[in-house]
Amino acid sequence: MSSLWVIGLMIVLIVVLLFVGAPIKPVRLAGQAMVRVGIGVMLLFFFNVFGGTLGLYIPINLFTTLVSGFLGIFGIVSLAAIHFFLI
């Protein structure tokens, strides 16, 4: 596909969404998921900053971010336990 087709398709999609309206529930769920992923990244960052003094480090990747974002503090604790006991 050339870039002209992609731009044209995006313009048609925007026009259709302006007339029909965006579905609210999927947009809200995607927004909430992005907020949780952001919180997961921040939790992992602060854990790595403070856990580095104890020798604990959890890599920041998609899996660990999703676990810490959706499970919160319990996710960080479980990832730290996995790192401590298995690695």
Residue 67 pLDDT grade (very low, low, confident, very high; cuts 50, 70, 90): very high
* Tokens describing residue 46: 């602060």
* Contacts by residues 72-78 (CB-CB < 8 Å, ≥ 24 positions apart): 72/39, 72/43, 73/43, 75/40, 75/43, 76/43, 76/44, 76/47
- Give the integer Cα–Cα distance in Å for 46 and 14: 39
pLDDT digits (tens, 9 = 90+) for 2-58: 778 888 888 888 888 778 777 778 878 888 999 999 999 999 999 999 988 888 889
For residues 36 and 69, the answer to whether their CB atoms sit within 8 Å is yes
User: What backbone torsions phi and psi does residue 61 show, to the nearest 5 degrees?
Assistant: -135, -175
pTM above 0.75, yes or no: no
Domain ranges for the chain: 23-86
